[in-house]
Amino acid sequence: MKKPGSGGWEGVGLLAASYHDSGRRAVERAVRVLLSGGSALDAVEQGVAEVENEPSNESVGLGGLPNWLGEVELDAGIMDGDTLRACGVAVVKRVKNPIKLARRCLDELPHALIVGDAATKLAEALGLEVVKDSRAPPEALERRKKLEREVAEASSGLTRYYSKIFRAASKVWHDTIGVIAVDAKGSVAAGTSTSGVAFKFPGRVADSAIAGAGFYADSRYGAAICTGVGEVAIRAVAAFRAVLLLSQGYGPQEAAEAVVEAAAEIAALDGERYNLGVVVATKRDVGAAALNWESFLYVYWLGGEVKVEKAPYVKLT
């Protein structure tokens, strides 16, 4: 077996998964990092941070829609495909750039996942930007009220009530920014960031903080990033599954489609119409597929222009 980091170099390429304009901005930023000699990890961190810094983005960063109690909780993660080190940060409040916190964790700590208030304290200790208030603005809370009216009749027990909220919310407001980068040394990195499914259960963790679920990178084979209902990506071990398939000789498009098939099986078992978007890249090629997401767009750059494409494979259930 090849050692991580020893893959043949085929060119600089990177991409982002997103259905809004943010994906393009993330990729453009990451391209600048790579072209000025930055590493794949730097490109991923800065590309993702670009989107976390957009105050109007409703599904990434502190502008994201809050949990059911009105607090914004963020999840992010980053992985180095050379060392197979990864760190996720989950249920993080008040931290402007969770991806930067995940990167510092990756570089400086032996841990793979740090959660909750301790993650915020770590961000403060590391001198990262932390704001004072985790409450979402009043407009976001107004939207929650609307949803509350929709689910009001499901009053028989907390779990039943919450399942209904999740079902309603997961159809409407969520997305993740994910970036995969390959640098001039042939190192591959991947990272993700989200405020999660809007009005989620407090403390709920997205795939975007969990290496192997929402993101995975191995410089021998490539990387994968996911967006969509995180519970499905976690249960399908979606990003790791994609990279495992690359290691077995699948191309990125075939691997993305196989992950969507696995997610569809989970959706069928649950009798739910979950959505998921998967982007998979090797050092020379990229593929994407989606479940129940008809216009799933992904952004990529393989030198030349940044391109936005519709996933060529969409499975509807």
Maximum alpha-carbon separation in the chain:
58
Q: Which is nearer to ligand ASP, 204 or 283 (CB)?
A: 204
Kindly report the number of other CB atoms within 10 A of residue 269's CB atom: 9
SS3 sequence of 265-276: HHHHHHCCCCCE
Q: Which of 18, 67, 120, 194 binds ligand ASP (CB under 6 A)?
A: 194
Nearest-approach distance from CB 235 to ligand ASP, in angstroms: 12
| Residue, CB closest to ligand ASP | 230
Residue 88 binds to ligand ASP (criterion: CB under 6 A): no
Angle at 103 between CA 46 and CA 173, to 5 degrees: 65
- Could you say which of 45, 54, 82, 175 contacts ligand ASP (CB under 6 A)? 175
Has 282 been annotated as catalytic?
Answer: no
Site string for ligand ASP, 264-283 (x = CB under 6 A): --------------------
Q: Compute, in degrees rounded to 10, the torsion defined by CA atoms 171, 177, 181, 187.
A: -90
Strand partners, 166: none
Site string for ligand ASP, 242-261 (x = CB under 6 A): --------------------
Q: Does 66 contact ligand ASP by CB under 6 A?
A: no
- Exactly one of 120, 176, 192, 282 is catalytic; name it: 176
User: Does 230 participate in binding ligand ASP (rule CB under 6 A)?
Assistant: yes
- Work out which of 174, 235, 241, 283 binds ligand ASP, going by CB under 6 A: 174
**Which residue type, as a one-letter code, is found at position 235?**
R
- In the bound state with ligand ASP, the residue whose beta carbon lies nearer, of 19 and 221, is 19
Tokens of 180: 């995969």
Residue located via tokens 């949803």 = 147
Report the 3 state secondary structure along 134-187. Answer: CECCHHHHHHHHHHHHHHCCCCCCHHHHHHHHHHHHCCCCCCCEEEEEECCCCC
Residues belonging to the active site? 176
